[in-house]
Structure formats: structure tokens, C-alpha cells
Structure 1
Amino acid sequence: MDLILWRHAEAEDAAEGTDDLARALTARGSKQAARVAGWLDRVLPEGARILCSPARRCEQTALALGRKYKLSPELAPDTTPARLLEAAQWPHARQAVLVVGHQPVLGQAIAQLLGLQQDSCAIRKGAVWWIRTRERDGHEQAVVVAVQAPELL
């Protein structure tokens, strides 16, 4: 299974008294999302399932890709790695799954899947981590296929 984790692009700062889920992308964030979406559109399998946090900034990031996606409340900013992986059906989904979400949960999920000693890893805004499960010597492994940042596209 391929699991692609895409952190939302740069968003407006949180303003006091406003709903965090309503924060929108900045102009720079829209450009970041468009750059990464162009790359993803070239490499993402046609039948990939796309799951998106209900936060406006995540939905705007996903919209840049121009493919159908599903808003998933279980991917909201307060989610856990376990809920994220369950929503993605890791490691048993039949097709690739793209998750558009938030830090720190994306970094926590990556650290867990890769068996890192720290409990999280940093992910730049707008960046993508592509992880694949495989079997080697009778053991299931998670391997990094690609890491892409908007600045490199």
C-alpha cells in the first residue's frame, strides 16, 4: 500500500476568537499547494483515494490537485496517528491513499511507521511524504518512496 501524507500549505495565522478550522491559505500557501499538486498529479495513481481534514486550509490544499476527495472528520487538527492510519486503512488499503492534514499528527504517524526513536518528525508546510508498505523476509516494513517540498518544485 502507498500512503501519501500531504501537510496543508501555508495558512493565515490564527486570530483570537476565530474558528481554527476556518483559517485559509495565504497567497504563498496557494502557490505552494499548486506546485505540489502539479507534481502529485503526475505521479499519483489514477485510482488513489484522497482524504482531507475538514479544515479550510486543508481543503484548499486538496482543491489544488483537481481530483475528487472526501472530507474526513477523523483527520481534524486534534486527531491521533492511530485515527489517521485507521482512516487510511493502513496497511491494507487496495489503492494508494493521499491524506491532506496537519502537524503534529502527520509527523507522529511518520515516526511511528518508520520506527523512529523520536515520537515525531518535522514536516514543512505544503510538503509530501510518500510511504509504502512491503514484505521483506516475512516482516512487514514501511519504506520512504519520496519526500517533496514546495520549494524544490
Structure 2
Amino acid sequence: MDLILWRHAEAEDGVPDLGRELTEKGRKLAARVADWLNPRLPEDIRILVSPAARALQTAQALGRDYTESPAVAPGARADEVLAAAGWPDGVHPVLVVGHQPTLGQVAMQLLAGQRGDLAVKKGAIWWFQGRERGGQLQVVLRAVATPDWL
């Protein structure tokens, strides 16, 4: 199963938190990442998006259908995100558009099997693949990309 974590792009400051929108720069960076992702994403990808405006706007740059999911909202726990994605036994690959520190916590759990935080830059993607080898789950980090590298 593939699991792609995409942190929302740069957003305006302000309150309420869920209403914060992308800046002009954030819109451009989300479009740049979407242009890179789209030809690489499988047709059967499920896209789960935080209900926060900045995450929804980031996902909209893909031009694909998505599902708004409170399980990936600001403040979500890593285990909630993984459960919503169906990791590691899901049938379809999943793209999660969400927030820090949650996405960094998911990445840490996948890479090291422990709690902790990794820094995920605004607009960045982390692409993981879970596969079984010898009856054990192996997690492969396929790609990490930030908008300024694309």
C-alpha cells in the first residue's frame, strides 16, 4: 500500500484556525506540487483532506475528487490518520493532505516505529510504501519532495 503525506502549503495567519486560507505564494506552491504529483498518482488513489480551508485549497490544486476527513484535521493523532488511511492493509493507495505536527508524527511512526516528531516543510510530500517481506511489514520511503525542489 502506498501512503502519501502532503502538508498544506503556506497559509495566512489568523483565526479561526480552520478558516485560514493559502497565501498567493501557497497557491503557487500547491500547484507546483500538484503538477509533480498528478502524473505519478495511481488512478485508484483515495484522497483524504483535513477540513481546514488551507488543506482543502492545497488538495484542490490536484483537480481530483477527495474526501474531507476530520481524522486528519489539525490536532489529529498519528494513529487516527493511519486508521483513516487503512494503513497498512488498505486496498487502495491513499494521499493525506494535513498538518504539522501530525504528519511528522505519522512519518516518524512509519520510519522508526516510535513516537516522535519529524519536521515536514509546508507543501512537502512524503511518499511511503508498505510491503510484506518474509511475513514482516517493511516500510519504504519512496520520495520526499518540497515545493522549492520541484
Q: 3-state DSSP class of the match of 1:38?
A: helix
Deviations 1:79-111 (A, max 9, x none): 000100000010111111000000000000110
Q: Distance in 2 between matches of 1:52 and 1:133?
A: 21
TM-score w.r.t. length of structure 1: 0.95
1:132 aligns with 2:129: yes
2:45 to 44, 48, 54: 48
Structure 1: gaps spanning 5 or more residues: none
Residues 87 and 117 from structure 1, CA distance in 2 versus in 1: closer, same or farther, beyond 3 angstroms?
A: closer
The residue aligned with 1:6 is 6
Q: 3-state DSSP class of the match of 2:144?
A: strand
Q: Percent identity?
A: 57
Q: Distance in 2 between matches of 1:10 and 1:35?
A: 13
Q: 3-state DSSP class of the match of 1:124?
A: coil
1:116 Cα deviation after fit: 6.2
TM-score w.r.t. length of structure 2: 0.97
Residues 97 and 10 from structure 1, CA distance in 2 versus in 1: closer, same or farther, beyond 3 angstroms?
A: same
Runs of 4+ in 1 over 4 A off after TM superposition: none
Q: 3-state DSSP class of the match of 2:74?
A: coil
Equivalent residue pairs, number: 150
1:31 to 16, 28, 32: 28
The residue aligned with 2:117 is 120
Question: Structure 2 counterpart of 1:90, which letter?
Answer: W
Question: Structure 2 counterpart of 1:19, which letter?
Answer: P
Q: Distance in 2 between matches of 1:69 and 1:59?
A: 9
The residue aligned with 1:60 is 57
1:92 to 86, 89, 92: 89
